[in-house]
Amino acid sequence: MKKIVFATGNPHKLEEIQLILSDYTLIGLDEIGCDEEIPETSPTIQGNALQKARYVVENYAVQNCFAEDTGLEVEALNGEPGVYSARYAGTAKDANANITKVLTKLEHQTNRAAQFRTVVALILEGEIYTFEGIIRGTIQTRRTGTGGFGYDPVFVPEGETRSFAEMSIAEKNKISHRAKAILQLKKFLVDS
């Protein structure tokens, strides 16, 4: 199996993950004709990842598929935005508005600890497998960098002085939450 469907319509995620899974050809949602919004109604990150993978398998005659869901969990905000990260400021999935909401809520906070959590759900020959990656860090008081996507301009990983948005994709892929989960997926696929 050298081709696998990745249940995403996000070209940034597709590019980022294709670099890690370079031995495989990732097929995005547009390539299978899926242009509708896949439901993400689970109260957990793992549940949403699994819901997306199941939706593709059940509705697009796809046998092997993986999906991921990622949440930013901010300590001082009791884990918010968490499962609602993409829609934190509303249903439009506006990354700038989401960042503004987080920065506004943290305005008078000294504790800026946060973590990104990614769960990858794989459906392979009818069996379900999940993989998780976490990276801890802090939320800056302002945006820096022009790369990445989502909350990358305000998130500085532990041990770094730059935000994810200031790193190249290759640098980010060495340490990121998504890369950690995808590397577990890769190992599983190689060993299977």
Domain parsing of the chain, residue ranges: 3-191
Count CB neighbours of 34 within 10 A.
Answer: 18
pLDDT tens-place string over residues 11-23: 888 988 999 999 9
| β strands within 33-98, DSSP E | 65-74, 81-82
Distances (CA, A) of 162 to 14, 95, 155, 157, 166: 23, 19, 8, 8, 6
Residues 6+ apart with CB under 8 A from 49: 67, 68, 69, 119, 120, 121, 130
pLDDT of residue 171: 94
Catalytic member of 30, 35, 69, 191: 69
| Dihedral (Cα; 30, 35, 41, 47), 10-degree rounding | -20
pLDDT tens-place string over residues 121-134: 999 999 999 999 99
Distance CA 84, CA 98 (A): 10
Is residue 23 flagged as an active site residue? no
pLDDT of residue 8: 92
Query: Does domain 3-191 match CATH 3.90.950.10?
Result: yes
Mean pLDDT across the chain: 94
Q: How confident is the model at residue 2 (pLDDT cuts 50, 70, 90)?
A: confident
pLDDT tens-place string over residues 138-173: 999 999 999 989 999 999 999 999 999 999 989 998
